[in-house]
Amino acid sequence: MISIELSKRFKKIVREAGREEEVSAALRLVLEGFGRPHAHTGLAIRKLGRHLYECRTGLAWRLIFMAHKGVLTFDFAGDHDEAQNYLRNKRQ
């Protein structure tokens, strides 16, 4: 069984952007499909690095999360440029 955790940063970004419904729907799909590689393509789940993934809620918005045994921790949400900046800072 996989569970989902949301960081304070993630919750704040989603709330301020007013995308709660969109993100909630994407989280349900990720929860149902994560770990099933053939479903990843349809969910737009992409591996970015060791334990680090992204999925899209639409064409313009990305959710970044870490996968560890039994838990997916969503830490960031934003457009392409914001996601790239987050990833750049995370790797430093």
Structural domains in the chain, CATH included, are 3-91 (3.30.2310.20)
Instruction: Please report which helix (H) or strand (E) contains residue 60, including its range.
Output: none
**Does 40 have pLDDT greater than 60?**
no
Compare 1 and 46 and report the one with higher pLDDT. 46
CA atoms within 13 A on the CB side of 56: 10
- Round to whole Å and give the CA distance between 4 and 16: 20
pTM: 0.89
Q: For 12-32, how does the pLDDT look when each residue is reduced to its tens digit (9 = 90+)? A: 999 999 999 999 999 998 988
Counting Cβ atoms within 10 Å, is residue 74 exposed (0-12), middle (13-18) or buried (19+)? buried
